[in-house]
Amino acid sequence: MSTSLLIMPWGSSLYQTTHITTPSGAVYALVLVDAQRASAFNSKYPRVPNPGFEPGFPDSIVNEIIDITQRNGASEEMALAFILGEYNSGVALLKQDSNSNFQRLNTDKSTDASGHNTYTANNCQ
């Protein structure tokens, strides 16, 4: 996995971005789209130390990601996109497409009458 820090245009302004290349070759970018919302998110959900690794989400969010992926069958990228949006994090998850363009990933949640949640990718094109 490789990481680097970029400045990339998003909308009418420049935002700080980190991109990650996975072993499979998928390239993702985390883009700061609203610094105030990101600051509020980090205050409300401070990162948890993770010795030897980057700090992680608090247990409540980790448990929600596990629930989304393991109980509801969503992919990890769908779960992360959902969490970033649902918690108004001020950060967007993008994935590079086959034309080397980054597309924002979004995930919608619906709940049926029995209370079962379904997560569906609703990605910007």
Query: What is the tens place of the pLDDT at every residue in 74-119?
Result: 999 999 999 999 999 999 999 999 998 889 999 999 999 998 999 9
Query: What is the tens place of the pLDDT at every residue in 53-73?
Result: 878 899 999 999 999 999 889
The conformation of residue 47, written as its DSSP 8-state character, comes to P
From residue 28, alpha-carbon distances to 15, 51, 60, 79, 110 in Å are 15, 24, 24, 14, 25
Is a pLDDT exceeding 90 seen at residue 17?
no
**pTM of the full predicted structure?**
0.81
Query: What is the tens place of the pLDDT at every residue in 38-55?
Result: 999 999 999 998 888 878
Contact present, 107 and 120 (Cβ < 8 Å): yes
Structural domain boundaries in the chain:
2-121
| Sign of the CA dihedral with 14 first, then 91, 19, and 78 last | negative
- In angstroms, the CA 29 to CA 84 distance is 13
